Amino acid sequence: MEKLEWLQANAASNTEHRVEVTNNEKIEPQTLSYTGKRNVTVRLSGTGGGKSIILAGNGSLFTIESGVTLMLDKDITLQGHGKNDAALVRVGNRGVLVVNEGGLITGNTNTIYQRRGIGDGGGGVIVMPNGNLTVAGGEVSGNACQRCSGGGVAVESNGNITMTSGEISGNTGTSGSGVSVSTGGRFTMSGGKVSGNTAPYNGGGVALNGGIFTMTGGEISGNNAGAGGGVGVDDNGIFTMTGGEISGNNAGKGGGVYFLRSLGNLVKTGGVIYGDTVGDINSNRASSSHGHAVLAEHFGRRQTTAGPRNNLDSNKGGVAGGWED
């Protein structure tokens, strides 16, 4: 794109540069990095109806480096393809990605096998250490990570995602098909929806692989997984819920929330985690009949202000500390 090439020489510190896309364009991977410049914002939007920027070749369509904010605004789609070897957008150290209403990240399949560790995951977006993603009305949908976590979004150690509105939906990955959060990473959700994501293992909607998830609002619904249809907590992950709703998720066990190993933590002081009751259209379901709402195995720590739908009977279903409905 000529406008992005122009910015390489002309970007200014503390300035927002608007880039209007007038036609669908297919481009090679781009790195947004402006040497010697600080607080550079690039705002992408479509004109004359929805426009797409389509990835040509392999790699991240955009890599956002330190001091740069990429904002996806109205009528703009970032489009990947089915045999990529990276997340469609890579948010680097101190880079920022904002997905506003009308922005869409879609159609990318990351086929890489996660051998090298940090930086291999993510279908739609990978947030690297000290990177930041905000979903504020847009969508990350229809992406996949074939043999890695975070079909929609993968958050590495010390990375951050904030969701105030919009959707992370219809993504697939081995775990955390909507959002996967590694140790030291953080996910803060006050609104929006994580829905319709599918993982064969842990965390259809959200997987905390040692990460921290704070939910004050929003909805986690209609996700599917082997364990933890809504949220799967592993490796000392911490899930704090003060509002919002977890409903209509499905899993082999722990339909709503599942603690895979010891020392997973749930601090619940508000919000609703529905159980599986006859005629309850908002129910979460576990095919094993263990933990329709919440299941903690191997003595995961649990704190709650339990409501009428929560049952903390330590012997229920033969699982000590089962916390089932």
Q: Is the pLDDT of residue 192 over 90?
A: yes
- What is the pLDDT at residue 270? 75
For residue 319, tell me if it sits in a domain: no
pLDDT tens for each residue of 56-68: 999 999 999 999 9
Contact yes or no for 124/87 (Cβ under 8 A): yes
More confident residue, 315 or 120: 120
Task: Tally the domains of the chain.
Answer: 1
pLDDT confidence band for 261 (50 / 70 / 90): low
Q: In the predicted model, what is the mean pLDDT of residues 18-28? A: 95
Contact yes or no for 43/19 (Cβ under 8 A): yes
Q: In the predicted model, what is the mean pLDDT of residues 289-307? A: 44
β-strand partners of 210: 182
For residue 317, tell me if it sits in a domain: no
Q: Which residue shows structure tokens 């550079």?
A: 40
* Best-predicted range by mean pLDDT (189-203, 236-250, 267-281, 288-302): 189-203
Q: Is the pLDDT of residue 45 over 50?
A: yes
- What is the pLDDT at residue 303? 38
For residue 289, tell me if it sits in a domain: yes
Which class for 94: exposed (0-12), middle (13-18), buried (19 or more C-beta within 10 A)?
Answer: middle
DSSP state string for 67-96: TEEEEE-TTEEEE--TTBSS-SEEE-TT-E
Q: In the predicted model, what is the mean pLDDT of residues 200-211? A: 93
pLDDT tens for each residue of 142-172: 999 998 899 999 999 999 999 999 999 999 9
pLDDT confidence band for 294 (50 / 70 / 90): low
Domain that holds residue 255: 2-309
Comparing 44-53, 215-224, 274-283, 304-313, which segment has the lowest mean pLDDT? Answer: 274-283
For residue 211, tell me if it sits in a domain: yes
Contact yes or no for 168/139 (Cβ under 8 A): yes
For residue 323, tell me if it sits in a domain: no
Tokens of 272: 């609703």
pLDDT tens for each residue of 76-133: 999 999 999 999 999 999 999 999 999 999 999 999 765 445 567 899 999 999 999 9
Contact yes or no for 19/11 (Cβ under 8 A): no
The per-residue pLDDT of the chain, averaged, comes to: 84
pLDDT confidence band for 312 (50 / 70 / 90): very low
Q: Is the pLDDT of residue 235 over 80?
A: no
Helix (H) or strand (E) holding 164: strand 160-169
For residue 321, tell me if it sits in a domain: no
- What is the pLDDT at residue 118? 59
Q: How far apart are CA 99 and CA 74, in angstroms?
A: 9
Q: Is the pLDDT of residue 266 over 80?
A: no
Q: Is the pLDDT of residue 288 over 50?
A: no
For residue 320, tell me if it sits in a domain: no
Helix (H) or strand (E) holding 232: strand 231-234
For residue 105, tell me if it sits in a domain: yes
